[in-house]
Amino acid sequence: MKLFTIVKENSSRVKNKNFQTISSDIPLWEWTVSRLVSDDHELYVNTDSDKVLNQVSLMNKVYGISRSEKHIEWEKNSDKIGSPVEDMLIEFCENSSISPSEIICLFHVTSPFNDLLTIERASKYLSQGYDSVQSVKRIQDFVFTTEDEKIIPVNYNPSRVQRTQDIPPVFMSLGAFFISTKSKILEERKRLPGRTFNYELDSVGSIEIDYPSDLQLARHVANSMIKLN
C-alpha cells in the first residue's frame, strides 16, 4: 500500500494549521505522518512548503513531492473552482511507476488520530467486492438542513417525538482516509471510484481539525494519550 497526503503552507480557517503544535512541540502534519510511518508502506507528501520537504527528507520511508505550479494556481482559486486534492491524487497515480493493482490511501494530516492499523483493516474491504473505502462518522440523532430559515428534516418525522435509537443513521464523510487501487482511481479519475464501503471511525478517530476549537480538543486528547502511555 502507498499512502499519499497533502500539506499546505497556508490555511484559512485556522492560521498556520498544519504547523500548529499538537503535543511536545510537534507540528500537526508531522504528528499525523509519524503515526502512519511503517517499514511496510511508502508514504508520499505533496507540499508547497520547503521546510516540510526538508523535514520529510530525514524520515524513513517518507518521500516529498514538490507541488506543481498547476496545483499552486488552482489552490489560489479553490473558492471558485473547488479543491485540487483529487487532481493531485490522480497526478500522483499517473506519475508513479507502481503496479496498477497497488492500493493507494489518500489521507489528510488534519485527522491527527488516524492510525495505520485502522487503515489496513479498512483496506481489506477492497478484497470483499468493494472498489473503494472511505472513513465516515455515524450520526444517529435529529439531523436537519435549513432553507430560508425553514427547518427541513433529513432523517426524522417532525410530527412526532422519536427515540434517537429508532432514527435512521446518517453518515458524514471524513478526511481520515480514502482508499482504492491505482487502476480504479485512474479509470474513473476520482478518489472514491466504483462501489464504496463506509468505514466507521470512533469518536477519537473522527476528530478533524477545521476550527480553532478542534485544535484545542486535539491537543487535549493527544496529551491525555501520552499520559496514559
How many angstroms separate the most distant Cα atoms in the chain? Answer: 60
Domain spans of the chain, in order of start: 2-228
pLDDT (average), residues 6-18: 90
Distance of CA 41 to the CA centre of its chain: 17
Terminal-to-terminal C-alpha distance of the chain: 29
Q: Could you tell me the CA-to-CA distances from 52 to 59, 93, 156, 201 in Å, in that order?
A: 11, 21, 46, 28
What digits encode the pLDDT tens for the residues 58-107? 999 999 999 999 999 998 888 888 999 999 999 999 998 889 999 999 99
Q: Could you tell me the CA-to-CA distances from 192 to 3, 13, 121, 132, 189 in Å, in that order?
A: 15, 26, 17, 5, 9
What digits encode the pLDDT tens for the residues 168-222? 999 999 999 999 999 999 999 999 999 999 999 999 999 999 999 999 999 999 9
pTM of the model: 0.93
- pLDDT over 90 (residue 229): no
Task: Give the C-alpha separation, 156 to 162, whole Å.
Answer: 8
DSSP 171-225: EEEEEEEEEEEHHHHHHHTSSS-SSEEEEE--TTTT---SSHHHHHHHHHHHHHH
Residue type, 46: N
DSSP 22-89: EETTEEHHHHHHHHH-BTTBEEEEEES-HHHHHHHTTSTTEEEEEPPHHHHHHHHTHHHH--SHHHHH
Q: Is 96 helix (H, G, I), strand (E, B) or coil?
A: coil
Residue found under cell 485544535: 215
Determine contact, residues 105/32, Cβ cutoff 8 Å: no
Residue 67, all three cell numbers = 507541488
What mean pLDDT value characterizes the chain?
Answer: 94
- Residue range 2-228 forms a domain whose CATH class is alpha beta
Across the strands, what pairs with 130? none
Task: Give the C-alpha separation, 136 to 32, whole Å.
Answer: 18
